[in-house]
Structure 1
């Protein structure tokens, strides 16, 4: 069933809106709704977001709970920071694999107001963490498939309940076909060849830069806007496995433009690396 992905800095009103949407869908549309966040899963924010490794585990735990519930007869609301575009892309892939609709709700908030709201929450972030996540937030962009449909809500704006319901419930029903009758995806003649070549070019460039022992953990690639952050070398065997996984996903969920293949692969590669 549909997935709602919230995004925003701590104290931006995500949980308040999530609970309002949950109540609206349950009462108006008689939906079963699963609301997921750190508090519900009994995670202490000061602990799970204190460093990179703890945060990586927290994101993985949230993701696994989304995956567990998205296949059921429920609407899943992920009420968390979700500030990394690569992570939002991963959630988007979960929704597509489940053949269901999804949307992103970005709660924009003035940092000072967010600070005041955060101070009222018992399970809150420190001031240093607030400033850090405000700087690290990768704002959703509607042209990105994984950030669309996007509802951009500012602090004093009303939540568009019915618009969200229409996107999730009615569009989902129209687009969801039984597996036996789902139309086969037709590719341009050269798409699969281009897909393989462009993914392999990223791998070749990464292997070369690792062999050159470049003194940086930020890898840039030719003709790409995305960058890869790594703390250790990735073996060729691991890269081949990642490539096969990405090719399989992309054949079922191809990009609209061939030019996007390399950037999308780098985003996917970044998320896999973070799970190492």
Structure 2
């Protein structure tokens, strides 16, 4: 169920700590299954990935989706990767909120010089080039215990013993954070809700574009299925209407209505307020 996010410089000992935590949980919590998600599992060629921002983003997305897929009520997921971007750690935090599960962050704290020494001791296929290593160190965003997504935070120095029991208490004895509206899935109120919303909003856009061909600013447009009128205060482009439609659909999915007949009026009201 819980998620453990490791982070640190390249060659800071993250994989070592992941394996230590896995062994500790297996020895003391025999009913727990452990999943270690790592970029090593995907045969990632590190230097090529971190030299290409697009590929790096794809790898992060793959790690996130794998961790999300494995999260459940019983198992522990350990994410062994650099996780050096605070925005990505925030995304992982949102995943745990949506899954109603606790999480923690383990920061493998080490000086860049010592991490560089460890990197040079690696086998050549696993070694970061100095240019890539320096770039990752420069871009590293250290976890901050005052932020929700980096709490609880365990800072582990190179020569420290891993505080395995404290980490397990944070994972197993702490209530998960309550889901907020942005991370909680809402049940649709009607089996044909999405279909009706798509149809009604598309018909509204078609009616507005047709009316603009003959109408003038100040006219009021009749929309199929709506009792309210669309106020044509200016010329509106199709791309602008599509953008407003996407925003309305996103909002309405989070706040579904029982009566789909209300959707036409709701969309007209939304357009009148947004385009005024």
Task: Confirm or deny a common fold (TM above 0.5).
Answer: yes
Contact kept, 8 Å, 1:38 with 1:44, in 2: the verdict is no
Question: How do 1:91-240 residues align onto structure 2 when only pairs under 5 Å count?
Answer: 91-122=92-123, 123-172=126-175
**1:242–1:97 distance in 2 versus 1, CA, 3 Å:** farther
Contact kept, 8 Å, 1:11 with 1:118, in 2: the verdict is yes
- Partner secondary structure for residue 162 of structure 1: helix
Per the alignment, residue 68 of structure 1 pairs with 69
Per the alignment, residue 4 of structure 1 pairs with 4
Structure 1 runs of 4+ with >3 Å offset: 174-177, 235-249
- Partner secondary structure for residue 171 of structure 1: coil
CA distance in 1, matches of 2:251, 2:142: 24
CA distance in 2, matches of 1:56, 1:247: 30
Unaligned runs of 5+ in 2: 180-238, 255-276
- Partner secondary structure for residue 149 of structure 2: helix
Contact kept, 8 Å, 2:33 with 2:74, in 1: the verdict is yes
Unaligned runs of 5+ in 1: 178-234, 250-276
Contact kept, 8 Å, 2:6 with 2:106, in 1: the verdict is yes
Q: How far 1:119 sits from its partner (Å)? A: 2.3
Contact kept, 8 Å, 1:36 with 1:77, in 2: the verdict is yes
Q: How far 1:168 sits from its partner (Å)? A: 0.2
Please give the per-residue CA displacement for 1:74-106, whole angstroms capped at 9, x wherever unaligned: 100001011111100000011111100000111
Root mean square deviation, CA, Å: 2.7
Matched pairs, number: 191
Please give the per-residue CA displacement for 1:23-78, whole angstroms capped at 9, x wherever unaligned: 11011111210011111222121222221111001101111111110136310000
Please give the per-residue CA displacement for 1:219-263, whole angstroms capped at 9, x wherever unaligned: xxxxxxxxxxxxxxxx876698579869989xxxxxxxxxxxxxx
